[in-house]
Amino acid sequence: MWDTVDGMPVWQGGKTDWAAAAQAAENCGAFRADCEEECVADDDVSCYNCRFRRWTRDSFVCMKERCL
């Protein structure tokens, strides 16, 4: 579900692939919940609700490698 752009993992599922984003976060181990007002998915654990996702125009980039 990830592309690599400029060395960074870019989510291929856009902003509404709810099930896959939840599954990816379950499998990740680095998930950290963002603050309530920035969480957009109903699934508590989801890349869409993670502090390490940085939104782009069409999707998001996972910043965990850069932040941890």
Chain residues in the site for ligand SF4 (CB under 6 A): 24-25, 28, 30-31, 47, 50, 52-53, 62, 64
C-alpha dihedral, 17 to 23 to 25 to 28, nearest 10°: -130
Q: Which does 62 bind (CB under 5 to 8 A by kind): another protein, ligand SF4, none?
A: ligand SF4
Q: Is 10 in the site for another protein (CB under 8 A)?
A: no
Q: Is 57 in the site for another protein (CB under 8 A)?
A: yes
Size of interface with another protein, in residues (CB under 8 A): 25
Alpha carbon distances (Å) from 29 to 5, 6, 37, 56: 22, 23, 23, 23
C-alpha 1: how far from chain center: 11
Six-digit token string for 48: 């869409």
Residues lying near another protein in the complex (CB under 8 A) are found at 15-16, 18, 32, 34-43, 48, 50-57, 63, 67
